[in-house]
Structure 1
Amino acid sequence: MTQTGARTQRGGGGRLLSWLLLAIVSSLVFAVFAVSPPKRVDDVLYDVLARSNGRVPDASILIVDIDDRSLAELGAWPWSRDVHGAMVDRLNAAGAKTIVYDVLFSQPSPDPAHDRALGEAIARSGKVYLPQFLQDAGANAPPRVVGSTQEIAHGAAGVGLAHVRFDDDGVVRRMAPFEANGPALSPDLMTVVHRATRAPGDRDPTRSLDQTLLIPFAGPPSIYRHVSFASVLEGEVPPSLIAGRTVFVGLTAPGLGPAFPTPVTPDAASMTGVQLQASILDGLRSGLMVKPAGPWGRVAFSLTLLWLLMVGFLVLPPRANLVLTIGLCLLGLAYSAAMFWLGHFWLSPITTVIGLKLAALVWGWMQLGRVNDLLGRELARVRGIVRGRSAPARETAKEFAKEFESDVVARQALDLGEAITRIDDLRRFSADALFSLPDATLVADARGRVIAANAAAQTLFRPSQAVLHGASLADLINTLEPLGRRFELDWPQETERHEPIDLHLPDGRAYQLQTVFRTNEVGVGAGWIVRLADISILTAAMRQREQALQLLTHDMRSPQTSILALLATTPGVPPELSERMSAYAKRTLALADGFVQLARAEVTPVSLEPVDLSDVAIEAIDEVWPQSAQRKIKIQQVGDDMPLMVMGDRGVLARTLVNLLGNAVKYSPEGSTITVTLSEEPSPNGPTANVAIADQGPGFSREEAATAFRPFERFERPGHDFATNGVGLGLAFVHAAVARHGGEVSCRSEPGVGAEFTVRLPRYGLSVEPASALSGRL
């Protein structure tokens, strides 16, 4: 195995190994905290849900308060047992369905008759339930059950433990249907009452396997109906308020009996024992007792959310993992609340939510470390690029990419490296292209300060000993001392179009100055590219061309004109010689005129404007009318009933049609017809305006038609002498003029049936104006 392959296996395997290690450790921690959760943290959310879970209390529950009024009217506590007996009789006579007397009579009273009176009242009623309490029996001994005396309790309908379960924070949230009493189980008082009074077929939560049940408090202690002990005893409470109800009798006066903090009582001591017992019985009867989740349920819940998060770590990018973490935390909270409110099942999500956040934080730290390593390598590549040593760093990045190609974050960092590679390649390509240009090229920033120059530019400015880097473009160009030009400091301006500027230097050299302003992707100026193209040879050639045209237009025309004048005025010249000399002179003049027209058509700028091609055709027909009339040739125009607009130079287009019509008249037989057809037709580049000139002359062969537009191309035809055959520049002018207008010209002919020349120009005014794009080149 190669070294790179070994590193690839180590890198990819190391990443998966770190993920698997985090998954295993997190799963173990989640399982431990699910089995033994930190109750204080869980209880905070439970209390919030319990307070928000308001419901209608059991209307059949009535609490008889041993309150301050009762103490004031009946004397200090404890009262005589016969007073309690009178209360039992009063409640029994009023029709109470069940009486829960939450008072412990564990010691005989000084007067046994009073105990007998109470016991007899309880026995007569047959529906009184009395409490028992667990009392600590000392070290290494099980607690002892303490209840009312036998003389009082022998006639009770049932007895049970009134034992209060406190959570670690001292708040009462749960009850145990049964309490351990040595090897036996003693039922809770509310378990006894509920089982004895529930309707057949009703659900009994006390028969489940749960050791404890969470109390679904309906609200604060005042939510149940209360009456004073003294008012009942004195007959102030109507029997209808007592009849058919479960009546709790207990201590509610402040300081008289114990009080317990609960989730629905914000202060530390506001719910008395009798109120707590009433809340428990209400929960048992309504079937809303909340079952706490078992350890396996908590483990399954925590690990499910954890592994959903761990899978996301492998396949999702960091932002998506953040959303996933928040979503799973909210899902855990929502699921727990829904189970509490709808299923009466308590599954605390707090430890799971905290664990998910910690797992995401640890994974984020690990990813940050990996990204830091990747970016460190890429920064090393950038430094290498700046120093010109990018190749080794690039190879290192490629090897590193193989190691982490399956990691989302790593792929993003590697994309950065790839972008750096492309930037480096583009920088090298741009630099190579710039420095390989034969013309002097400068690159400047948006302020016009030079930041780069190729070798040709350095050679150009070396004689002036100008410092290129950081120099102003205007100052730099001024050092060349161009004739008749001086550039201001604010040159060049930020405009979209910059026309080329010809610079003529004192030593005879000529340069064409071209500037291009570049912007970035948001339209802000980025800088300038300035090119100084050496046009010295081109300028000299143009000068020679002008001189040649001058020679043709003046120096060659003048002698020929003089020859014609002498032949016309000199007597005695033989007619045959005079005619032949005149033909040569006219031919030379035609050759000079044709050459000048062709040269001007090829290079002379023309002025473009909207032109009606129908009008131009009429002008051309009028111009050749004398020649056609002399030979009795009819010229008819077809399709001139509506304007046919093009962008062009009217004079050049007229000369083009005149040349075509002149050739048609020249080669057409006498009495024939020449047809000028104007039409419009579609094309892939837009509609075209067409002028077709068809004659009835001798025509061309296919080979002749293919070469008809070449300069100096002439075709001998029977019946046409040396003078009328032309010089072969008329059709060349037509081709050059039409091409300068963005059009095309074609020839269709067969020998003996005539020829048809068609000029096609871009139509103006219907769609895109293709000819307008040529205005800068005409």
Structure 2
Amino acid sequence: MSLFINRLFRLLRDRRQTLLVWCVCFIALVTINIIINQQATIRRSVDLFFYDILLRYKPVIAEQQIVVIEIDDKSLADLGRWPWSRTTHAQLINQVNQGKPKAISLDIFFTEPSQNPQSDAQLANAFKNSSHVVLPVLLAPKNGGILDLSNLDDVVVYDPIPLFSKYVVSGHAGNQPDWDSVVRHVEAEIKIDGRSLQNVMSLVASQQMANERPMIPYRGMSDSFTHYSYVDVLKGHVPTQLFQDKYVLIGVSASGLGDIHRTPFGLMSGVEIHANILSSILKSDFITSVSPTTQLVVEILCISILMLSFFMLGERWHLLSLLTFIVFIVCLSVYLLYQQNTWFSPVVLVLLAVLAYTVWSGWQMYIAFRYLRLQLSHLVPELQENVESRWTYKFDKVQDIIQALNDAQTKQIQTDTNNRELIEFLSHDMRTPQVNILAAMSVFKKNPNYASINELFSEIELNVSNTLAYAQSLIEFNRIEKALLNSEELNLQHLISYACERIYIQAQRENMRIDFNCDIEVKSMAWVRADGALLERALLNLISNAIRYSPSGSVISIGLTIENERNEAFAVISVSDQGVGMDEKTKQLLLSGQGVKKTGKGIFDDGTMSLGIGWRIVYSIVVGKHQGRLDIDTKNNQGTTVFLKLPLSRWPHKS
């Protein structure tokens, strides 16, 4: 110990300037760390990205006592449109009760009496004969809009009808997503108007959660628990003894009913999320985050140790110290998450360590170059007068200038190309609606009987809307071109269903129907690695274009298949419309990634065209970002089918 102290004091005495630089670097790193912690959005986005990656590989065993009964597409096809009669639910509860489960949870709201009082009485009697039934209350914003559990003053509670409340317990089933719309936390308890509402899964397990808002340790993909179809249980195809001493969760998983949420493992139904929460309650393995204060203190302490090792050790050990430090921090984070169910983010600490190494290495290189320059000035002063050295120096300078000019020329060419494309977009897509407006007004002034004033206003409104849409598309195209790919493993069937839900209103407005066909076997295999947000944008563009260029009352058909091609498997999404189609020249232009011109629809239309920036966005996302493929099957006046091909991320039978 005394030897270490003596060495430290000797270093402090001999390297005063280095010590000053060390202090400045340390203070700067601590300041940067504090600033990053204050920027909560940036910090959280980086931390959660790394957290999602680690969580996907966390070894977790699903709880075998949990059974999920799904209101799936199969049940809807057999039992008819939703909602079903409460007599049907009563029959299901009676069927499940024969197996004597520990508890039953229905993720269905019963806040209003049905039109058939007898069906309400039958369901109430089924609840009465059950040992333990839990129903959710309905949480809704007072003034409409989106439910925000962070502002409970604007939330109103609707309880199950009194006839049911006598035989069940009720709690809340809401989980507030994070800023990126991903559900990672569970709300253990919420208090509204002096009333405390436990989470429905706490009531199912009859256990309270230790923390107010822990993180959910998801068990994996959506097939991590035992699942049965609602209609199979109802018709007795599932033996009732399978429910003995089990927690039975009944909820919606059908894609068209809207109870689909984003999770670190992709899209997941609400009842599947409840199953993960219940499993964590039973195993007491919720994940808790390290407090911001503790995180900051540990980061400052670790940076201090790393900087001290840089100061004490020789330059040859600096890189090894950095690598050892990074490995230790990452392993510590993995250990805390996997073994202690505690989340400690290593991302900022690793970035600060790399920054510290870069700055300190730069200082060491500066000292070395200064020493070499000093020695050269003493040993060979005649080099400054040497003609050959002067010419060599000048040639090097000329070469550097030529290289700089070449780089500037290349950059200028790219800039000119981008500017040309921008001018083309502006001159067509932005200018055309304005020309149409002026033309409409001119025609109306010359001949007021040509069209009514309402038609004139409709034309102006249409072209103004087109201008805004073109501007938004141009901004979006530029953002997509520059965006980094945020790849994750996702199921295309879920993604397509989510896109169909989002564009449903637009199709209804045009009196069109969207028909999505996908075999059950394809659904289980259609997994790809892709940026979900970008791929969803491409799908929405394709479906929107199909709606736009199809006559009213048409059917937009969407398919999902699997194809083998040269020992490689692809997921193929097809979007078909019943529009006017296109010729071969237009098709080839689209497949080469170029825009094409489409005529307008206004009553005052002057024949001007649009460059089709929507297709450029689709091409950039599928081909440019995901290395996928696009194909088109079309003929004039026979409709168009666009095929979007993406390589599968996992399928054991690719060959």
CA 1:39/1:387 → structure 2, altered by over 3 Å: closer, same or farther? closer
Question: Does the residue aligned with 2:68 lie in a helix, a strand or coil?
Answer: strand
Q: Which residue pairs with 1:338 in the alignment?
A: 335
Query: Which of 67, 70, 85 is 1:65 aligned to?
Result: 70
User: Are 1:34 and 1:351, in contact at CA under 8 Å, matched by a contact in 2?
Assistant: no
Shift of 1:88: 1.5
Query: Which of 20, 23, 26 is 2:26 aligned to?
Result: 23
Residues in 2 aligned to 1:119 and 1:218: alpha-carbon distance in whole angstroms: 34
Shift of 1:182: 5.3
Q: Which residue pairs with 1:149 in the alignment?
A: 161
User: Are 1:84 and 1:118, in contact at CA under 8 Å, matched by a contact in 2?
Assistant: yes
Shift of 1:311: 0.2
User: Are 2:12 and 2:19, in contact at CA under 8 Å, matched by a contact in 1?
Assistant: no
CA 1:241/1:104 → structure 2, altered by over 3 Å: closer, same or farther? same
User: Are 1:102 and 1:249, in contact at CA under 8 Å, matched by a contact in 2?
Assistant: yes
Q: 1:374 is matched by which residue type in structure 2?
A: Y
User: Are 1:142 and 1:181, in contact at CA under 8 Å, matched by a contact in 2?
Assistant: no
Q: Which residue pairs with 1:88 in the alignment?
A: 93
Question: Does the residue aligned with 1:223 lie in a helix, a strand or coil?
Answer: coil
Residues in 1 aligned to 2:353 and 2:31: alpha-carbon distance in whole angstroms: 13
Q: Which residue pairs with 1:518 in the alignment?
A: none
Residues in 2 aligned to 1:331 and 1:12: alpha-carbon distance in whole angstroms: 29
User: Are 2:103 and 2:131, in contact at CA under 8 Å, matched by a contact in 1?
Assistant: no
Question: Does the residue aligned with 1:59 lie in a helix, a strand or coil?
Answer: coil
Q: 1:61 is matched by which residue type in structure 2?
A: I
Whichever structure has more helix as a proportion of its residues is 2
Q: 1:164-563 to 2 correspondence within 5 Å? A: 164-181=175-192, 185-194=196-205, 196=206, 206-208=209-211, 211-265=212-266, 269=267, 271-384=268-381
Give the CA RMSD over aligned residues: 2.6
Shift of 1:324: 0.7
Between the aligned residues of both structures, percent identity stands at 27
Question: Does the residue aligned with 1:56 lie in a helix, a strand or coil?
Answer: coil
Encode CA deviations 1:467-525: one digit per residue, 9 max, x unaligned.
xxxxxxxxxxxxxxxxxxxxxxxxxxxxxxxxxxxxxxxxxxxxxxxxxxxxxxxxxxx
Shift of 1:281: 0.4
Q: 1:261 is matched by which residue type in structure 2?
A: R
CA 1:76/1:378 → structure 2, altered by over 3 Å: closer, same or farther? same
- Does 2:58 match 1:53? yes
Larger Rg: 1 or 2?
1
Encode CA deviations 1:4-45: one digit per residue, 9 max, x unaligned.
xxxx99995443222112112212322443564612211222
User: Are 1:171 and 1:261, in contact at CA under 8 Å, matched by a contact in 2?
Assistant: yes
User: Are 1:108 and 1:115, in contact at CA under 8 Å, matched by a contact in 2?
Assistant: yes
Structure 1 unaligned segments of length 5 or more: list them. Answer: 1-7, 199-203, 389-778
Shift of 1:227: 1.1
User: Are 2:134 and 2:204, in contact at CA under 8 Å, matched by a contact in 1?
Assistant: yes
Encode CA deviations 1:156-192: one digit per residue, 9 max, x unaligned.
0x21111122122222122121234356543211222
Residues in 2 aligned to 1:12 and 1:95: alpha-carbon distance in whole angstroms: 78
Query: Which of 143, 150, 161 is 1:138 aligned to?
Result: 143
Residues in 2 aligned to 1:22 and 1:107: alpha-carbon distance in whole angstroms: 65
Question: Does the residue aligned with 1:22 lie in a helix, a strand or coil?
Answer: helix
Structure 2 unaligned segments of length 5 or more: list them. Answer: 1-10, 145-150, 386-655
Residues in 2 aligned to 1:366 and 1:256: alpha-carbon distance in whole angstroms: 61
Residues in 2 aligned to 1:190 and 1:305: alpha-carbon distance in whole angstroms: 39
Encode CA deviations 1:262-296: one digit per residue, 9 max, x unaligned.
1223xxx3x10011100110011112211111112
Using structure 1 for the length normalisation, give the TM-score.
0.45
User: Are 1:136 and 1:143, in contact at CA under 8 Å, matched by a contact in 2?
Assistant: yes
Flag the structure with more relative contact order, 1 or 2, with Cα contacts below 8 A and sequence separation at least 6: 2
CA 1:360/1:227 → structure 2, altered by over 3 Å: closer, same or farther? same
User: Are 1:31 and 1:303, in contact at CA under 8 Å, matched by a contact in 2?
Assistant: no
Q: Which residue pairs with 1:108 in the alignment?
A: 113
User: Are 1:292 and 1:346, in contact at CA under 8 Å, matched by a contact in 2?
Assistant: yes
Residues in 1 aligned to 2:311 and 2:243: alpha-carbon distance in whole angstroms: 67
Residues in 1 aligned to 2:324 and 2:195: alpha-carbon distance in whole angstroms: 48
Q: Which residue pairs with 1:639 in the alignment?
A: none
Question: Does the residue aligned with 2:248 lie in a helix, a strand or coil?
Answer: strand
User: Are 1:61 and 1:224, in contact at CA under 8 Å, matched by a contact in 2?
Assistant: yes
CA 1:378/1:239 → structure 2, altered by over 3 Å: closer, same or farther? same
Residues in 2 aligned to 1:96 and 1:309: alpha-carbon distance in whole angstroms: 56
Residues in 1 aligned to 2:257 and 2:89: alpha-carbon distance in whole angstroms: 17
Shift of 1:344: 0.9
Query: Paired residues, what number?
Result: 366
Using structure 2 for the length normalisation, give the TM-score.
0.53
Q: Which residue pairs with 1:98 in the alignment?
A: 103
Query: Which of 41, 44, 49 is 1:44 aligned to?
Result: 49
CA 1:16/1:288 → structure 2, altered by over 3 Å: closer, same or farther? same
Query: Which of 174, 189, 206 is 1:163 aligned to?
Result: 174
Q: 2:18 is matched by which residue type in structure 1?
A: R
Residues in 1 aligned to 2:131 and 2:166: alpha-carbon distance in whole angstroms: 10
